[in-house]
Amino acid sequence: MGWYKKSQTIDFAARNLLNRKISYFQELIQFIEKMSKVVFQSATLAKTSNNSILTDTKISSYPIIESILFEADEIVYDSPWKFQFLCKEALSESKIMLMNFIKEREEITDRKKNEFKKGWF
Write the DSSP assignment of 39-96 as a string of letters.
Answer: TTT-HHHHHHHHHHHHT-SGGGG-HHHHHHHHHHHHHTTT-HHHHHHHHHHHHHHHHH
Residue 3 lies in a domain: no
pLDDT at 65: 95
If one counts the domains in the chain, the total is: 1
pTM to 2 decimals? 0.79
Residue 40, domain member (yes or no): yes
Q: Is residue 119 part of a domain?
A: no
Q: Which domain holds residue 59?
A: 15-112
Long-range contacts formed by 60-63: CB under 8 A, 24+ apart: 62/97
Asked, for residue 36, whether it belongs to a domain, the answer is yes
- What pLDDT score was predicted for residue 13? 80
Residue 75 falls within a domain, yes or no? yes
Total residues belonging to the chain: 121
Per-position pLDDT tens, the chain of length 121: 565 665 555 567 878 899 999 999 999 999 999 999 999 999 999 999 999 999 999 999 999 999 999 999 999 999 999 999 999 999 999 999 999 999 988 887 766 555 555 556 5
Domain assignment present for residue 117? The answer is no
| Chain segment 51-83, per-residue pLDDT in tens | 999 999 999 999 999 999 999 999 999 999 999
Q: Kindly state whether residue 69 falls inside one of the protein's structural domains.
A: yes
Identify the pLDDT of residue 116: 56
